[in-house]
């Protein structure tokens, strides 16, 4: 399957009437946070394929994208892929719903892993895609608090064994910084600001 993954920045070549032709072979849209709802809604209307998304730290407290599936803290079977998500970033200011301490994210991760256990038994398969806004600690993150990753995400990678993890949040120049890392048998990708990802392990 082909995935159009997006995060943190509205891209003119995506937010255009020609996107239907440009991305005609896309099977799934993934929003990794910090994107206007109208942007994702427009892309769904153009491509007419499923959208899953998580909120970023700059998204409104009540973040809803018409036509999309919010997978923050949830596990869903979408477009033939078993997908789980955890939105938000490290808490760096007092206001804002989509910010968490390390301990708070550990609790959220524990809840997600519990839900995953049931879903994996039900569907008799591994987790295909783990979608987050922030990266895992020590992978694609930065030293400032805002862009420090979550250690708890390593638990998901080690326990649920997703084949692919997609995140955003960290703004890096593509031609300078490595955007992809292999860890625990998972391909971890920073998709900022957009990336077409080929996923060929569906249903394994």
| Sign of the CA dihedral running 77, 186, 27, 17 | positive
| pLDDT, position 56 | 97
Residue ranges for the chain with pLDDT beneath 50:
none
Quick one: pLDDT at residue 17? 87
User: For the whole model, what pTM was predicted?
Assistant: 0.95
44-78: per-residue pLDDT in tens?
999 999 999 999 999 999 999 999 999 999 999 99
Task: For domain 2-198, give the fold.
Answer: Purple Acid Phosphatase; chain A, domain 2 (3.60.21)
The ranges assigned to domains in the chain are 2-198
**What confidence score (pLDDT) does residue 159 get?**
93
Q: HSE of 16 in the Cβ direction (CA atoms, 13 Å)?
A: 9
Q: Distance of alpha carbon 138 from its chain centroid, rounded?
A: 17
Cβ atoms of 152 and 132 within 8 Å: the answer is: no
- Cα–Cα distance for residue pair 55/53, rounded to 1 Å: 7
Tracing tokens 């955003």 back to the chain, one arrives at 168
Strands across the sheet containing 180-183: 75-78, 81-86, 129-132, 164-167, 186-190, 180-183
- Across the chain, the runs of DSSP E, i.e. the strands, are 2-6, 28-31, 51-53, 69-70, 75-78, 81-86, 89-90, 99-100, 129-132, 164-167, 180-183, 186-190, 194-198
CB 142 within 8 A of CB 136: no
pLDDT score of 175: 59
């Amino acid at each position: 399957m082909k995935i159009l993954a997006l995060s943190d920045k509205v891209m003119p070549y995506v937010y255009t009437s020609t996107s239907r032709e440009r991305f005609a072979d896309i099977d799934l849209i993934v929003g990794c946070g910090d994107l206007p709802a109208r942007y994702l809604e427009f892309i769904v209307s153009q491509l007419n394929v499923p959208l899953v998304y998580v909120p970023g730290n700059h998204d409104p407290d009540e973040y809803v994208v018409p036509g999309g599936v919010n997978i923050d803290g949830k596990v869903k079977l979408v477009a033939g892929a078993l997908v789980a998500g955890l939105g938000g970033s490290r808490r760096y200011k007092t206001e804002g719903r989509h910010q968490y301490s390390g301990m708070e994210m550990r609790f959220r991760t524990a809840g997600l892993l519990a839900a995953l256990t049931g879903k994996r038994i039900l569907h008799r398969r591994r987790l295909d895609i783990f979608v987050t806004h922030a990266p895992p600690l020590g992978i694609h993150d930065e030293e400032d608090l805002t862009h420090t990753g979550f250690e708890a995400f390593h638990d998901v990678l080690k326990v649920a064994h997703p084949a692919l993890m997609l995140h955003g949040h960290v703004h890096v120049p593509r031609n300078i910084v490595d955007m992809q890392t292999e860890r625990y048998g998972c391909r971890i990708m920073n998709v900022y600001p957009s990336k077409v990802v080929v996923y060929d392990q569906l249903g394994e």
